[in-house]
Structure 1
Amino acid sequence: MSYSNTAPVVWRRLSSLSELSAVSEKWHFLNQQCGGGLFCSPHWQLHWVSCFWQADWRLETWICTSDDKLLAILPCYTQPDERSRKRVMFPLGQGEAEACEVASEFVDLLIAPGWSQLLPDLARLIASSGRPRIKWRAVNSGANILQLAHALGHSVVQASGYRYLYSSEHGFKLSSQLERKWQKIVRYESKKRAHFYWLDKQDACDLWPELKRLHQLRWSRKGKPGAFISDVFNQFHQMLLLQQPDSCAMAVLKIDGELAAIHYYLKSTEYMHFYQAGWAEPFSGFSPSAMLHLWAARQMNNLAYDFMLGAAKSYKQDFCNQKQLCYQLDVYADVVSYALAILRKLKRQAGRLKWLS
């Protein structure tokens, strides 16, 4: 859809959730124009709001319209910071308590194609409205929010890991060990002793407790809490399965009729995002979760298989043929806070150099 460059451009700050919901249809259309990322969509972010919103949070979302069409949206809110006693701005989808964090990654400022000239105006509006501290994690290298941070100034951008991807165009380059295990499971499959398949909506809902049990069992053995320990985390995803089944997928590997591994995915227009897994210890010799990755990735026709954010050294690189550097962003409210942050960053870098030497 084309936009008229002669119609006036109007910026507006939304401060109520009802105002945000009212633009959800236009927001969805804009997100589709920008690639259809799940974590930038109103479906994901409004669902996140419905589960995590707190009484002392305040919506701080900027939108730009022209000729009744949405050209840009910066979907943010602020919450109080106990340490500084000031408010900090986060994107919707981030900032919930770590114990129940759902890991909304690659959230971005959405701008309609051909309208990048809106960025300086938005920077001026934010600066003149009180200039809050901004924290943003899991940022893609080409994200609009990085350009906005540059325009705002007083920003610190740090590498935070890699986004690991598999594209069928390039194929797998497996280690000899993984290749042997894959050939073994293929033989099992040919003899009908192994069975890979996708779950329908009802089966996915029914098997959620088993995914949770297997995942938690593995992490409890490591002395760690595991992702499913939070009730609100489980509520978020179970409601997503029920209300937005097209945004989710679950795959299973059974060996000799027993559940060996189960994966939970989130779906975008261009990606199948691997999110969580559980696998049964008696089948550990098969590396069942790894085998399920190899099978599921081969099922992707027009989608990239996305392992999402991982460390520089990660098991994810064993399966992927692409990786993209990601960042953590901090924009500071004043020059003093910014200078102190730069000093802390330099001190950390000096410490690492001293350790390496």
Structure 2
Amino acid sequence: MANSNAEHKIEWLLIEDLVCLKEYVAQWQKLVKQSQSNLFCSPEWIMTWIGIYWQPSWQLKTIVGFENNKLIAIAPLYIQKSNKFISTIKLLPLGQGEPEESEVLSEFQDIILAYKNEYIYVELANQIQAITFDQLCCNKLLPNSNWHQTLSNFKSTTFANTGKRYLITNHQNYLLTLSKNNKSKWKRCQNKFEKLNTKFIWVPETHYDEYWKKLISFHQKRWNNKGKLGAFSHPNFIKFHEIFQQYKNIKMSAILINQKPIAINYYLYDHDTLYFYQCGWDEKESTTLSPGFSLHIWSILNNPMLNYDFMTADTSNSYKSSFARSQPENIYQAILDKNIIKQHLNKIIKKTLQKLKKTKINQHSFHIDAFNWNSSNL
């Protein structure tokens, strides 16, 4: 890949040491603010993630660009090595790739740039090309992201639609956008709440700790009753959020009946967007009150930010679609295979092992059936 005629003289640097990365946090914060990048691109989010999930075997490979000694680009990346089938080197954005059972879902992450043009995308592609890896994988990308533009420079990049983003950008006339059924449902809920000593609130910051613990309790009881682990089952997930809360980028809304919380929504926020992240409610105390639905409607109508973001949902029908009437934005996974032969061999080995496992299970079932048949004929 050859550079186009340089419009800017960029000095590129590959950071491979966490101590060195920390030295650029202040400039990183300024660049996030200047570019109005989202919360999940911020050093607050990513450095918290590193503090909880970083493994000694991982290797930092963060690309930074400077003009006149000023940071104008950062692509926070690192390497994970896998020896599952054939040894592979995977390049990932910082904030992705933690164990599934404790993942915090860093969505809409991106390369942060002071300005955008084709030249800088080609330059970034060249910097990525210079790193030794077999596969680069980026999840939950927006279609207009810098990642999308940069990785489009590689012929071997594939983009797969993995979800949809439900974003409400104007809550002033929000009730007018609701379906007839949801308008009626909201009125019924309001009538029920009026008969009770009910308050909808934004939780004061001084009560965050109390409501956080109550949220976890509500959420876990509800999902455990369904036979599921629940989002707060892993201590690292809880620890991540308790540390991140120190940066004061969270909000909580709640429904109180007789001053007692029965439902809580947990949000993250940045300069213009409130991100719905988790929720919990007391099923015993709110059987007929539709607490999840009601708290979303109230929180949207009373949103202190410009946007209300439900974040990513599956491509199939989602309850989130009933709240956001506008066309959802597609979300993508980008995979750049630099070593296509190795990836192909991995897939073949994986499929072969799955077939062998299935064959063994079938053989085991056959022996059991045969034993049962023989036993019944003794």
User: How far apart are the structure 2 equivalents of 1:116 and 1:72?
Assistant: 14
How far 1:42 moved relative to its partner?
Answer: 0.8
Q: In structure 2, what residue type is equivalent to 1:267?
A: Y
User: How far apart are the structure 1 equivalents of 2:345 and 2:158?
Assistant: 11
The answer to whether 1:221 aligns with 2:222 is: no
User: How far apart are the structure 2 equivalents of 1:218 and 1:195?
Assistant: 22
Q: Report the counterpart of residue 135 of structure 1 in structure 2.
A: 137
220-229 or 118-127: bigger deviation: 118-127
How far 1:306 moved relative to its partner?
Answer: 0.3
Contact 1:185 1:194 in 2 (8 A): no
Q: Report the counterpart of residue 297 of structure 1 in structure 2.
A: 300
How far 1:140 moved relative to its partner?
Answer: 0.4
Aligned pair count reads 337
Contact 2:90 2:133 in 1 (8 A): no
Q: Report the counterpart of residue 351 of structure 1 in structure 2.
A: none
Q: Secondary structure at the match of 1:105?
A: coil
Q: Deviations over 1:106-156 (max 9, x none)?
A: 001112124542121221222233244111111001011112212133111
Q: In structure 2, what residue type is equivalent to 1:244?
A: Y
User: How far apart are the structure 2 equivalents of 1:233 and 1:32?
Assistant: 26
Residues 153, 170 of structure 1: alpha-carbon distance in 2 compared, 3 angstrom cutoff: farther
How far 1:161 moved relative to its partner?
Answer: 0.8
Q: In structure 2, what residue type is equivalent to 1:226?
A: G
Q: Report the counterpart of residue 180 of structure 1 in structure 2.
A: 184
Overall identity of the aligned pairs, in %:
30
User: How far apart are the structure 2 equivalents of 1:35 and 1:291?
Assistant: 31
User: How far apart are the structure 1 equivalents of 2:147 and 2:155?
Assistant: 12
How far 1:263 moved relative to its partner?
Answer: 0.7
User: How far apart are the structure 2 equivalents of 1:34 and 1:337?
Assistant: 38
Match of 1:98 among 97, 100, 125: 100
User: How far apart are the structure 1 equivalents of 2:55 and 2:139?
Assistant: 20
How far 1:237 moved relative to its partner?
Answer: 0.7
Residues 123, 6 of structure 1: alpha-carbon distance in 2 compared, 3 angstrom cutoff: closer
Residues 305, 97 of structure 1: alpha-carbon distance in 2 compared, 3 angstrom cutoff: same
Q: Deviations over 1:267-313 (max 9, x none)?
A: 01121000000011121311101100000111125421100000131
Q: Secondary structure at the match of 2:287?
A: helix
Q: In structure 1, what residue type is equivalent to 2:291?
A: P
The answer to whether 1:309 aligns with 2:312 is: yes
Q: Secondary structure at the match of 1:252?
A: strand
Q: Give 5+ residue unaligned stretches, structure 2.
A: 1-5, 349-378
288-297 or 7-16: bigger deviation: 7-16
How far 1:192 moved relative to its partner?
Answer: 6.5
Q: Deviations over 1:295-353 (max 9, x none)?
A: 0111125421100000131000111133110001111122435778999xxxxxxxxxx
Q: In structure 1, what residue type is equivalent to 2:43?
A: P
How far 1:187 moved relative to its partner?
Answer: 3.8
Q: In structure 2, what residue type is equivalent to 1:36?
A: S
The answer to whether 1:26 aligns with 2:27 is: yes
User: How far apart are the structure 1 equivalents of 2:109 and 2:55?
Assistant: 20
Normalised by the size of structure 1, how large is the TM-score? 0.88
How far 1:6 moved relative to its partner?
Answer: 8.3
User: How far apart are the structure 2 equivalents of 1:64 and 1:205?
Assistant: 40
Q: Report the counterpart of residue 263 of structure 2 in structure 1.
A: 261
Question: Which has the higher Rg, Structure 1 or Structure 2?
Answer: 2
Match of 1:147 among 143, 146, 149: 149
Contact 2:189 2:294 in 1 (8 A): yes
Q: Report the counterpart of residue 89 of structure 2 in structure 1.
A: 87
